[in-house]
Amino acid sequence: MRPWSPIPIHDCGEPLLELPPQVLRIEPHPYAVLGAPYGAGASPFRLREGVVTRLLQAQASLQTSHPQWRLAIFDAWRPVAVQRFMVEHTIGEECASRGVDPRVPSPERDAVVADVGRFWAPPSDESATPPPHSTGAAVDLTLAEAEGHLVGMGSAIDAIGAVSEPDHFFTRAAQLSDGPERDAFLDWHARRCALREAMELAGFAQHPNEWWHYSWGDQLWAWRSGAESARYGRAPESD
């Protein structure tokens, strides 16, 4: 259960739309490359209609204050089958990096599952608790330069650990005296803040553990914004 799981959902029925060409897609899609089961013809670069509108508003806000940058979309709509695939894949990868056997129950494996669970929502099939990306209301994104080169943000999207928390580098910089490392931390923090400002001006809410994850209209958004209910539940996968 997440803090936002009890919030009721009153789905407004908006369709999933392909992202417009104004926003950059990071391709090839990273989860499709791994073999994630999207299904024939299914595109991960889709969001609910109202979310697409706000994403374009966010890009306009970003380019008003930082004309050298644009939004770059890492991931958008995600079927529950893909969520399940990626949770299992991430647990396996994290176990391998720590020398833990993912097939054998152990305190070390439990620690990996807990750490992964801070960043990956449970792949619930229950209509009352859809993973955020399955609603078409959540988007993972970063910044890119005008010609498409990605901007350094201090950590990769989907990195497991404190480095992915939105204000991690501000906290780290406060612990250091002046120097190049502190300057780098403050630069990364400033870039994360620029992305956050643009997204929040368009009404998006940020995931508390992930600098790259924003949503509008789902349960997480309702929890962070104080809305009584979510506008979007799990999106029909046939759209």
Among 88, 210, 228, 237, which one carries the catalytic annotation?
A: 210
Phi, psi dihedral angles at 100 (to 5 degrees):
-110, 135
Nearest Cα to Cα of residue 135 among 215, 62, 30 = 215
Q: Give the other-Cβ count within 10 Å of 42's Cβ.
A: 17
Q: How many helices (H) and strands (E) does the chain have?
A: 7, 7
Nearest Cα to Cα of residue 205 among 223, 189, 183, 221 = 221
* Known catalytic membership, residue 210: yes
Tokens of residue 124, six digits: 């619930």
CA separation for the pair 95, 89 (Å, rounded):
10
Q: Which residues are catalytic?
A: 210
